[in-house]
Structure 1
Amino acid sequence: MKLKKLVAMGAACGIAIAGFGVASMASAEPVSNSYALVGSDTLQDSVNAITNGTTLTGSLVRVTSNNKTLGNFDAFGATAIQTKQGGPFFGRPAGSGAGVTALRASITGALYSGNAAVPTRPITGQVDIARSSSGPGSNANANGLLAYVPFARDAVGFAYKGGDSSWATLSAAQLKSIYECTTTSIGGVTVKPRLPQSGSGTRNFFLGAIGNPALGSCVTDANGTTPENDASVLGANDLIPFSAASWIAQANGATGINTTTASGVNFGSPVGGEPAFTGTAPNLVPNTDFYKDATFGRDTYLVVEYARIVPGDAKYDAGLANLVNPSVANSLTSFGALPVSVGGVKKKFGFLAPSTTTIQRAFATL
């Protein structure tokens, strides 16, 4: 009876959840016939699951809008993407910052590149939602034109390859010194700090959490394009920021690729030795205390144009508003307790419920 009630509620709001069946394993490169999402690598796999359909929790869960499918585009892949039927190809937004920039260009009609190999062009109406693993930061504004809607709770630690047991619990102060290249070895072993691409929300969040270090010359890819949440990029004695949720999702087999099994790779916690997760793969469980940490725990977001989710506004879009309304059963931002719910799927991907459902507004101008 509870399942039937959830289905009825979702359908009434234009959000579909299937009851039983075989999950669609469609590519993350669809051409959307409704809404398109781009941005954060950290959120992409969980959003792929709930938009393409998944039986990860035992029954098929899939979010659509008025029976139309959503297009969720990965942060990395082919250089150019086409998000809407008949729309232009444009440079793939790689990460949170690039996703928000693409959303802004989609709203304003400004020229967008996203990749030097792709011609700059207008992408008006081609992006509806940006995935962001970090909040608006200095762009927060009470009258902002964008709305950051909480998606789920994550936390950030670091992946490393090599070293000794002391590497597993490096403090924020130690990490700051490492990224400033003041500390060059830990436990008698040279440490080589690395960073994901500059558009990465995980990168920006991690650097802020460790005290905004002035990056030293030992950070060899400070201005590079290293993908985030990919432990396979690590060489001997490398260290890089990493999402706890992404590590859990990969290790538990929720994602299509698992880089946590790369030889010699481990996950480190900067929260006083508090582990990021408990259990063993494929049954890792987020550690609530780690995720609650005020410095390294973080809420993640789906970002939309504020006017489109405000009833009565000339731009109001009921379908989009329902998709990002956490009070709508099985919307993209909901976090139901039942396994056969969007929240149940998010937990399988290493996320917990966000600390708040309050929207943050940002960008006084676009």
Structure 2
Amino acid sequence: MNVKSRARIGAVLSVAALGVGVLAAPAQADPNPVTEYRTLAGVGSDTTQDVVNGLGDVVKNAIGQKIIASWNATGSASIKTKLNGCTITRPNGSSAGIDALRNAVDTNSGCLDFARSSRGPVDSSTQDLTWIPFAKDAVTFAKRSDSALPSDLTTAQLKAIYECTTTSLNGVTLTPVLPQANSGTRQFFLSSIGVSAPGACVTQGVQENDGTVLVGAGDIVPFSVAQYTAQEKGVVTDRRGAAVLGSVNSIAPRNADKSLNTAFPFTRDVYNVVPSAKLTNTSISQSFVGSSSKVCAQTTVITNYGFGTLGTACGATTLKGER
């Protein structure tokens, strides 16, 4: 392990130790209390965990009971999602959440009802799962505020950085960083810049949307714009550290009022993934399906967490796949 890697891990552990109390804030963690087993249980994406927690606090059934229970990407090693049985390993990231949902469907366990995902399907061999969009996000690069690295990069420059053919800029040696393998943000970012296999110079495996991993002047990492905004506003735990967002192709990821710039090159929909066979289930249908669904109606909550709204595209059920 090199010196920079040791410093990066040490910085992250120090911040985690200091932030234990903060992580228990309302609408920013697992269901509180964890024994409040709601109708719909979900896991997965780090990027959307906080906004779905916020939605879980306001989306209710006809008698005022909360419907959506969502478990964060990180925390205790295992979670219990239903009253009877259903103690599972906590999935970290979009792909891990989708795989856990697939397993629940295949085994008919009933332990999970949806998965949070910041990416679309990567396998269309079946139509077993449906990706239901509910908000708009973007992904850009982040660097340290005290770094001499450019604040604006082109798509071609980002590709060269993550393929390790460009190793320095403005006299600063680059250290490109990527989230852990199950991260939807990682997959979306690499696809957006045209990288199929990161180069050997890339540091991999960090937790996404955590600016404290940037410990050196040459560090650069993909970051969800919505997560950055929510952290900046203080509606979720602030993990930005010294990170600042960069522009791509001379286009800023946010407007002057810090709302999402939908003209940014790397925008994406974010989803709640459900079993296709359960689209007509009353709780799933009323919560997620259609632009008038309970989730899609919560535009104030969605924008408060830094995301953009989708209008009539919210709640569509056309996007299907296996994983």
Q: Same fold (TM over 0.5)?
A: yes
Identity of aligned residues (%): 37
Q: Match for 1:258 among 210, 215, 238?
A: 238
Asked whether 1:230 is paired with 2:192, we answer no
Asked whether 1:305 is paired with 2:275, we answer yes
Q: How has the CA–CA distance of structure 1 residues 26 and 354 changed in structure 2, closer, same or farther, with 3 Å as cutoff?
A: closer
Give structure 1 stretches of 5+ with no counterpart.
1-22, 53-61, 110-122, 311-316, 337-341
Asked whether 1:95 is paired with 2:100, we answer no
> Which secondary structure state, in structure 1, belongs to the residue aligned with residue 134 of structure 2?
strand
Q: Are the equivalent residues in 2 in contact too, given 1:140–1:361 (CA < 8 A)?
A: no
Equivalent residue letter for 1:269: S
Q: Match for 1:323 among 282, 287, 295?
A: 287
Whole-Å separation in 2 of the counterparts to 1:24 and 1:91: 23
Q: What is the TM-score when the length of structure 1 is the normalising length?
A: 0.74
Give structure 2 stretches of 5+ with no counterpart.
1-24
Alignment of 1:70-219 (within 5 A): 70-109=68-107, 124-137=109-122, 139-140=123-124, 144-161=127-144, 162-164=146-148, 167-219=150-202
Q: How has the CA–CA distance of structure 1 residues 25 and 100 changed in structure 2, closer, same or farther, with 3 Å as cutoff?
A: closer
Whole-Å separation in 2 of the counterparts to 1:146 and 1:242: 27
Whole-Å separation in 1 of the counterparts to 2:49 and 2:303: 14
RMSD: 2.1
Whole-Å separation in 2 of the counterparts to 1:213 and 1:190: 23
Equivalent residue letter for 2:180: Q
| Alignment partner, residue 10 of structure 2 | none
Whole-Å separation in 2 of the counterparts to 1:180 and 1:322: 44
The structural deviation recorded for 1:171 is 1.2
Whole-Å separation in 2 of the counterparts to 1:90 and 1:99: 11
> Which secondary structure state, in structure 2, belongs to the residue aligned with residue 299 of structure 1?
strand
Whole-Å separation in 2 of the counterparts to 1:27 and 1:177: 37
The structural deviation recorded for 1:284 is 2.6
Q: Match for 1:40 among 38, 42, 45?
A: 45
Equivalent residue letter for 1:276: P
Asked whether 1:362 is paired with 2:320, we answer yes
The structural deviation recorded for 1:26 is 7.8
Aligned residues: 290
Q: Are the equivalent residues in 1 in contact too, given 2:29–2:50 (CA < 8 A)?
A: no
Equivalent residue letter for 1:246: Q
Whole-Å separation in 2 of the counterparts to 1:134 and 1:24: 26
Q: Are the equivalent residues in 2 in contact too, given 1:145–1:361 (CA < 8 A)?
A: no
CA deviation vs aligned residue, 1:37-63 (integer Å, no higher than 9, x gap): 1111111111111212xxxxxxxxx00
CA deviation vs aligned residue, 1:316-348 (integer Å, no higher than 9, x gap): x2111111123335x12x1x4xxxxx1111111
Whole-Å separation in 2 of the counterparts to 1:133 and 1:25: 19
Equivalent residue letter for 1:51: G
> Which secondary structure state, in structure 2, belongs to the residue aligned with residue 240 of structure 1?
strand
The structural deviation recorded for 1:25 is 5.2
Question: Which 4+ stretches in 1 moved above 6 angstroms?
Answer: none
Whole-Å separation in 2 of the counterparts to 1:327 and 1:203: 28
Equivalent residue letter for 1:135: G
More strand per residue: 1 or 2? Answer: 2
Equivalent residue letter for 1:230: D
Whole-Å separation in 1 of the counterparts to 2:65 and 2:271: 22
